[in-house]
Structure 1
Amino acid sequence: MPTKVRVAAVQAEPRWLDLRAGVAQVIEFIESAATGGAQLVAFPETFLPGYPWWLWLDSVSWGQGFFARYRTNSMTVGRTEFRRIADAARRHHIHVLLGFSERSAGSLYMSQCLIDDRGVLLGVRRKPELTSLEHRIFQSGEITEPYVFRTGIGRIGVQGGSEQLNLPARSDLERTGAQVHIVSWPGFIVARDVEWGVRVNNAATLWYSVVGQLNVIAACSVMDVAGSEFHRGPEQVKELVRGPGGHARIYAPGGQELASPLSGHQEGLLYADLELDLSVESAA
């Protein structure tokens, strides 16, 4: 029998290159989502410490000025910052899907972790398919890593933003056994003379809902590219990209939009009640 599961998607600007402030922001959203009745809250891609947009804006030499700070402010699973987030999930009895830059054994990964409502880490997924620019600072995760998690509120699949553009066959989606598909987007910029970014990315998100017959939660960052890098870039670089970036969405199977979207600049939470059959076992 279908059961309603209340979920929330975050649309917000990260606390760029400041892990301590970012963790405090994540905890605030966890508390707000739980107060709103959500049993699950999903965050954007690399929300801690923000997506490294400098990779897209100018030369590698200019971007090197940010790498040391980015690495320092990336999060290690199991350490103090991570434990604070897990504890918040436990205290507020809510599942948390967090996108973050993971520092591990000298490498950085574009990771997503799922923490359950007891504060228990169910798993970490490291993004296996990176863009050519992301490869400059991140390592690829293993393609064989699972991305569907069994939880008390259903079977949850997770992916990072650009992975949505490599659309699987419907049969592949059915084999995963997911009931909810969470995509963590880093924000949608519009580069000069390129107008299709938002339209195509939203269409890819919607595809999972229509073709896969999945509930889809798309968390998305609000981003001010110039502001995110403390205005250190040349003026001509700042003109390459314009925002505002925020396009969080929640869809029911078949494509019905379940939450009124926020404006691109607006920060907040989208809420929706998903209909899931929690009595059905996962596919093998």
Structure 2
Amino acid sequence: MNDSLNIAIAQIAPVWLNKLATIQKIEAAIEEAATQGADLVCFGETLLPGYPFWLESTGGARFNDPEQKQIFAHYLREAVSIENGDLGSICQLAKGHRIAVYLGCAERAGDRGGHTIYCSLLYIDKEGVIQSVHRKLMPTYEERLVWGSGDGHGLQVHSLNNFVVGGLNCWENWMPLARSALYAQGENLHVAVWPGNANNTIDLTRHIALENRMYVLSVSGLMRKDDVDADMPQYSLIMQNASELMGDGGSCIAAPDGSWIVEPIVGREAVVTAAIDMDEVRRERQNFDPSGHYCRPDVFELTVNRQRQTVVKLKD
């Protein structure tokens, strides 16, 4: 039995809204995690090519505003197209190092016309194959100005050694039914991805670990004022009210008993690897298993629609 697994946090800042340069930085972090012996490396929410931090500081809700249109057009141009092979080099690197990857992307979805961005969390297996693309079910607050609402297609789990790993985007991790959908599929290693704020990870990471008696890896991005390139459209407008630290990180790992394996990492880039043991899950499931002996399916039932939602079904 292969009960051990090495998991890695890659808390890095993007080359903000620059897809090709951010891919290079992601690849360097994968290389570093691989040298540390990681079986799995995880990156923050929409790290590729970056989270829409401009919205709060530029009046993002102004309707039909030419400045907002210009920034969005740039964001859409730099968003990830899976169909066009944008992630090919990352997949090849994962295969070459035999390392699985959870990666947060701003996805320009070809199956929805190609001009709407989704906050997507991708799982790439050790063979370099993209096994799931989970589009965030409900963008949070101002995110709805730039992202579409996803569907349940990506509510999937994946086998990795003797572990079963699943993941959710940001505030989806607050959604009890989304979590339950993964728990019931046997999840015992949960990946929660965030744009970068220790206030989000410091309590919820341990709560989820205790709720399903499993390992929880929260991984955040980092975003500093200096990470905004001067060539960005509306650079002066963005910088005018931007805070010095828009995303402070907060990546961490909790054990099935709620204790810290890696305490929240704040304010710096880091690639950190930790060894986990499946036997720790078994010990904690002895007294509580929310999808097993502590479940009451005769009282509670959850239905999950995992069909990919599309506008048109073409029959040629």
User: Alpha carbons of 1:171 and 1:29: their partners in 2 closer, same or farther (altered >3 Å)?
Assistant: closer
Which blocks of at least 5 consecutive residues in structure 1 are unaligned?
189-197
Preserved CA contact (<8 Å) 1:54 1:63: no
Q: TM-score, normalised by structure 1?
A: 0.85
Q: Which residue number corresponds to residue 85 of structure 1?
A: 90
Q: Which residue number corresponds to residue 158 of structure 2?
A: 149
Of 165, 168, 178, which residue of structure 1 is paired with 2:174? 165
Preserved CA contact (<8 Å) 1:250 1:258: yes
Preserved CA contact (<8 Å) 2:165 2:187: yes
Q: Which residue number corresponds to residue 128 of structure 1?
A: 137
Could you tell me which amino acid in structure 1 is paired with residue 188 of structure 2?
A: Q
The CA deviation at 1:139 is: 1.2
For the aligned residue pairs, the C-alpha RMSD in angstroms reads 2.6
Q: Which residue number corresponds to residue 252 of structure 1?
A: 255
The CA deviation at 1:143 is: 3.0
Q: TM-score, normalised by structure 2?
A: 0.77
User: Alpha carbons of 1:80 and 1:132: their partners in 2 closer, same or farther (altered >3 Å)?
Assistant: same
Q: Write the distance in 2 (CA, Å) between the matches of 1:261 and 1:237.
A: 27
Q: Which residue number corresponds to residue 105 of structure 2?
A: 100
The CA deviation at 1:225 is: 4.5
The CA deviation at 1:141 is: 1.1
The CA deviation at 1:260 is: 5.0
TM-superposition CA deviations, 1:117-165 (whole Å, max 9, x none): 1111111111112113212111111135423223445211100012123
The CA deviation at 1:205 is: 1.9
The CA deviation at 1:233 is: 2.6
User: Alpha carbons of 1:226 and 1:52: their partners in 2 closer, same or farther (altered >3 Å)?
Assistant: farther
Q: Could you tell which deviates more after superposition, 93-102 or 134-143? A: 134-143
Q: What pairs with 1:174-253 in structure 2 (closer than 5 Å)?
A: 174-188=183-197, 198-225=198-225, 227-228=227-228, 230=230, 231-233=235-237, 237-239=241-243, 242-243=245-246, 245-253=248-256
The CA deviation at 1:171 is: 6.3
User: Alpha carbons of 1:144 and 1:117: their partners in 2 closer, same or farther (altered >3 Å)?
Assistant: closer
Q: Write the distance in 1 (CA, Å) between the matches of 2:240 and 2:268.
A: 26
Which blocks of at least 5 consecutive residues in structure 2 are unaligned?
283-290, 293-316
Identity of aligned residues (%): 29
User: Alpha carbons of 1:229 and 1:254: their partners in 2 closer, same or farther (altered >3 Å)?
Assistant: farther
Q: Write the distance in 2 (CA, Å) between the matches of 1:10 and 1:137.
A: 25
Which of these two proteins has the greater Rg computed from alpha carbons? Answer: 2
